[in-house]
């Protein structure tokens, strides 16, 4: 397999792909929608000039969005901008490095993301396989496609993510996003349903990258319990909410302790972390 990563066109293609997945070119659209919703809620007429020239009327907020590439702040406006992923630039950069390492070192196994939202990170991994002309690996896309479950364990108390409608994205919508990028094919395998019910299926048998974005203690533990033994030596385990959600971090720490895992955990940004199996 030829390593394309030093090619200038490759670098530009990957960077443009990240721009689109994160909606960095249209981040201010979230501010436009937030402004229009405010007008609706308060029964105020909207100012068309404010909608068109939001960058001038809310310059400070536009700049705040542009200075927040990793999604730590401005959650509401960012989501109204409709990116394909909310994981931010640093976690996409890190994911790129992991995919390239796996392909460069020929670490066996497929890629799986558990908790995909609008599918952006999974789309990115599938696109990277295309760029590297890897015709063998598959990308597994695991999600309930109906949002998060309600908190059932004490460790998840008050984590009511199931009440957030922006986190519920149907499977047909996610498939449509793959299709927009020309990447919906038989090498993208969807696993719809709650993790406790779906992730113990016999496939995939080996994983080179496991990306866990379950938010809750239970969801994170369900992912690791079902799939960690399938991660091949040298493969990557990514925990998206390790820094942001204490319940997720606790699940990781409890799992690693119970299984005697002592590989060091590396932080990616304010919330993402990973280790190599």
Those residues with Cβ within 8 angstroms of residue 184's Cβ, 6 or more apart along the chain or in another chain: 175, 178
Query: Is pLDDT above 80 for 91?
Result: yes
Partners of 237 in beta bridges: 210, 275
Is residue 277 very low, low, confident or very high in pLDDT (cuts 50, 70, 90)?
very high
Residue bearing tokens 């990793």: 70
Across the range 50-75, mean pLDDT stands at: 84
Q: What's the pLDDT score for residue 185?
A: 97
Is residue 81 very low, low, confident or very high in pLDDT (cuts 50, 70, 90)?
confident
Instruction: Please state the pTM of the whole predicted model.
Output: 0.94
β strands within 27-120, DSSP E = 110-114
Across the range 63-78, mean pLDDT stands at: 79
Q: What's the pLDDT score for residue 24?
A: 87
**Measured CA distances, 257 to 142, 211, 250, 254, 263 (Å):** 25, 20, 10, 5, 11
**More confident position, 33 or 171:** 171
Q: What's the pLDDT score for residue 1?
A: 77
**More confident position, 214 or 73:** 214
Across the range 16-20, mean pLDDT stands at: 96
Partners of 239 in beta bridges: 212, 273
Q: What's the pLDDT score for residue 153?
A: 97
Across the range 8-35, mean pLDDT stands at: 92
Across the range 84-93, mean pLDDT stands at: 96
Alpha-carbon distance of 67 to 71, in angstroms, equals: 9
């Amino acid at each position: 397999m030829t390593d394309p990563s030093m090619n200038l066109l490759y670098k530009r293609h990957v960077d443009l792909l990240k721009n689109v997945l994160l909606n960095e070119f249209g981040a201010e659209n979230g501010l436009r929608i937030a402004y229009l919703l405010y007008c609706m809620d308060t029964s105020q007429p909207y100012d068309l000039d404010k909608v068109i020239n939001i960058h001038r009327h809310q310059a400070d907020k536009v700049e705040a969005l542009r200075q927040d590439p990793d999604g730590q702040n401005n959650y509401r406006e960012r989501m109204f901008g409709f990116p394909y992923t909310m994981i931010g630039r640093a976690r996409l950069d890190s994911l790129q490095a992991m995919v390239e390492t796996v392909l460069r070192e020929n670490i066996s196994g497929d890629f799986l993301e558990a908790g995909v939202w609008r599918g952006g990170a999974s789309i990115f991994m599938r696109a990277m396989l295309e760029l590297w002309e890897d015709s063998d690996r598959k990308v597994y896309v695991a999600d309930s496609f109906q949002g998060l479950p309600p908190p059932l364990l004490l460790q998840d108390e008050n984590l009511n993510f199931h009440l957030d409608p922006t986190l519920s994205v149907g499977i047909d919508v996610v498939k449509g996003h793959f299709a927009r990028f020309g990447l919906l094919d038989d090498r993208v395998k969807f696993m719809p349903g709650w993790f406790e019910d779906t992730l113990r299926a016999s496939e995939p048998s080996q994983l080179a990258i496991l990306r866990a974005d379950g938010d809750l203690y239970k969801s994170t533990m369900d992912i690791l319990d079902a799939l960690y033994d399938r991660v091949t030596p040298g493969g990557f385990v990514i925990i998206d909410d390790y820094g942001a959600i204490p319940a997720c971090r606790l699940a990781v720490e409890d799992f690693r302790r119970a299984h005697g895992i002592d590989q060091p955990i590396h932080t990616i940004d304010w919330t993402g972390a990973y280790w190599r199996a």
